[in-house]
Amino acid sequence: MKNILIVGAGKGIGLKSAELLRNENLYTISRTSTKELEDLDTEFFQLDVAKDDLGNLSLPPELHGLVFCPGSINLRPFNRLTEEDFQADFQQNFLGAVRIIQKCLPALKKSKSASIVLFSTVAAKLGMPFHTSIAASKGAIEGFAKSLAAELAASNVRVNVIAPSLTDTELAAQLLSTEEKRFASAKRHPLQRIGSAEDMAQMVEFLLSEKSSWMTGQIIGIDGGLGTIKL
């Protein structure tokens, strides 16, 4: 049984990942507790890794997996974004990951076979209007992950990134609030549908498993073909 930490496990992709991995020894972090997460009976910590003190976070001496799921969808024209907007997205999407990885790194190295899974967005690869802030912070994740993967390869700690397109979660609820919006979003993707939390969670499960033991430094598009196919 592996010791796995999931950050952002209260809902969406993080919760679905916890559900798929419920037979492992799970440690979970979320800013809010949810009944669904409580029902999984994980070792739960309620905090914000981007802002709160991590000094008292009690984790096992060995960690085999770390999944960082927090994200934001701050879609506005560039001229309506403030410096504070960019800083907030950067803090949540990037610096939160930096802080928790630094906290967990000794335990990850001690396992001698660990996997770190981070999240980006298709918008970091494919230029999309109104995505400047989110693409900037997630682009930082991609560059960070590749360099970290190189640095940790000798310790057999793998680092990979999942880059989704629009996924049907609570975070995207406003963008999918009507049937018309859902239909239009689906039609933008070559596979003609919106992604699900389970689509992403299944890739998380794979990247934490030995089936992906020869993969590191990869940016994996789970995006219905949007990032690579033009119809």
Distance, CA of 90 to CA of 15 (rounded, Å): 23
Q: 3-166+197-222 has which fold? A: Rossmann fold (3.40.50)
Q: Report pLDDT digits (tens) over 156-187.
A: 999 999 999 988 877 766 777 788 888 988 89
Say what the alpha-carbon torsion angle 57, 62, 65, 71 is, to the nearest 10 degrees: 20
Reference 66, options 143, 171, 161; nearest CA is: 161
- Other CB atoms within 10 Å distance of the CB of residue 7: 26
Q: Report pLDDT digits (tens) over 37-72.
A: 999 999 999 999 999 999 989 999 999 999 999 988
Q: Report pLDDT digits (tens) over 64-95.
A: 999 999 988 889 999 999 999 999 999 999 99
